[in-house]
Amino acid sequence: MAAPQRLVIASHNPGKVREIAALLAPFGCEVLSAAALDLPEPEETENSFVGNARLKAEAAAQASGLPALADDSGLCVSGLGGAPGIYSARWAGPKKDFALAMKRVERELGENLDRRAWFVCALALAIPGEETRLFEGRVDGALVFPPRGSRGFGYDPIFLADGETLTFGEMDPAKKHAMSHRARAFELLVREVFQ
């Protein structure tokens, strides 16, 4: 299969679109966002990151007639039984206020000392007329409070990857891109599709 020259990023999250576009930049692929194409956001009805990524990619590919890449990712906290997990964005409410979401994580953890956490990223590449391809990446770490740093997006300011001293919110974006859950899923995608 030839690597796509144009690709719809099936997301309305500007931070996520920016990060994916940066990861795809070396491959000369023109990136369009679902928001820019005014594509509807499908309801995420699956019970896994992979299932939701597939649903979003296939909906965007069908609506646009172009190859589409979707990401479903989130924060899983051991002390919360894996929550917020696939509901990570919903914890931020309708206004996508991740400051509130981070406060909720801290509040729900309460006195629980198990601060182990991991980010998961599932990527789905849907190309019209072909079978959807799936890739998954994960990075492990722990939560820190109060939030630190204003870089990145989402839960980045409370996530400290194993072996690091800076949260994803404090880290230089290039370093985060090289080691994140999304970067790990992208390595698999690039190996199969772009090389």
3-class secondary-structure state, position 55: helix
How far is the C-alpha of 191 from the C-alpha of 120, rounded, in Å? 19
Catalytic residue selected from 72, 140, 156, 172: 72
Tokens of 178: 């090289």
Residues ≥6 apart with Cβ < 8 Å to 145: 106, 158
Q: How many CB atoms lie within 10 A of CB 125?
A: 24
Is residue 72 annotated as a catalytic residue, yes or no?
A: yes
Residue with tokens 């899983």: 76
Catalytic residues: 72
